[in-house]
A = this chain, B = another copy of it.
Amino acid sequence: MSREQVAKDYEEYKEKGRIWGQVPPERITKIKFPRADAATIKRYLALPDMTTTVSDLLDSYGIRGVVAASYIKPLIAGKRIAGTAVTLRSMPERKTPTQGSIDKDPIKMSTREIYYLSEPGDVLVADFGGNLDVSNMGGQSALVGKTVGFAGAIVNGAVRDVPAIREVDFPVWSAGVTPITGKFRMEATEINGPVRLHDIVVYPGDLIVADDSGICVVPADRIASLIDEAESIGGAEDKMRELIVSKAPISELRPLFRKRYD
A binding-site residues for B, Cβ under 8 Å: 3, 17-21, 48-49, 51-52, 54-56, 59-66, 68-71, 73, 78, 80, 91-102, 104, 107, 112, 116, 129-133, 138-140, 143-144, 147, 158, 160-164, 166, 175-181, 183-184, 189, 193-194, 196, 199-201, 211-216, 219, 237, 240-241, 244-245, 247, 249-251, 254, 257, 261-262
Contacts and interface: CB of A to CB of B under 8 A. Distances in A.
Q: How many copies does the complex hold?
A: 6
Contacts of A70: 132-133, 158, 175-178
Given A51-B160, A69-B177, A163-B212, 13 more contacts: A17-B251, A60-B101, A62-B99, A68-B177, A69-B176, A69-B178, A92-B199, A98-B102, A112-B257, A143-B245, A162-B212, A177-B212, A178-B213
Contacts of A177: 68-70, 73, 212-214
A180 B55 contact: yes
Nearest to A140: B240
A214 B178 contact: yes
Contact of A107 (B139, B175, B184, B261): B261
Contact of A59 (B19, B184, B219): B184
28 contacts: A17-B250, A21-B254, A48-B164, A49-B160, A49-B161, A61-B99, A62-B98, A63-B96, A66-B180, A68-B132, A68-B179, A69-B162, A70-B132, A70-B158, A70-B176, A92-B200, A94-B201, A96-B96, A96-B98, A112-B257, A143-B244, A143-B245, A144-B244, A147-B247, A162-B212, A162-B213, A166-B212, A177-B212
